[in-house]
Amino acid sequence: MSIELNTNDGQVTITTDVIATIAGGTAVECYGIVGMASKSQIKDGIAEMLRKENYSRGIVVRQDDDKLHIDMYIIVSYGTKISEVANNVQSQVKYTLSQSLGLSIDSVNIFIQGVRVAKD
């Protein structure tokens, strides 16, 4: 799936993988995030952490009419306030996608897949 933008100079097509990679990179830079988790793989209650090149496996980008919705599956650091971390990720992802791609994001849904002790 891709999103098409019409500009004065022509047409721009942005794939959902690009949106997911930018959103994932933004999320892991936020305080309290240990990493991204796969949206479909939870074994024995343990979420596998994704590496940078696989961020799109932990993010679902959906388009309903002209609205974009992003579902993010993350792993948070132990001892952080989960609601604040999730709120920070939501606002940062919306801002970054708006600034870098010119996209208006309707919702960013956060799914906490695990809590890990961060390595110092």
State pLDDT tens for residues 4-60.
Answer: 888 889 998 888 889 998 999 999 899 998 888 877 665 545 556 666 556 677 889
Note the pLDDT tens digit of each residue in 53-105.
Answer: 566 778 899 988 778 899 999 989 999 999 999 999 999 999 999 999 888 89
For domain 2-116, give the fold: Alpha-Beta Plaits (3.30.70)
- 102 φ/ψ sector (left φ>0, alpha ψ -120 to 50, else beta): left
Query: What is the per-residue pLDDT for 39?
Result: 73
Quote the pLDDT of residue 117: 81
Backbone φ and ψ for 43, nearest 5 degrees, come out as -115, 125
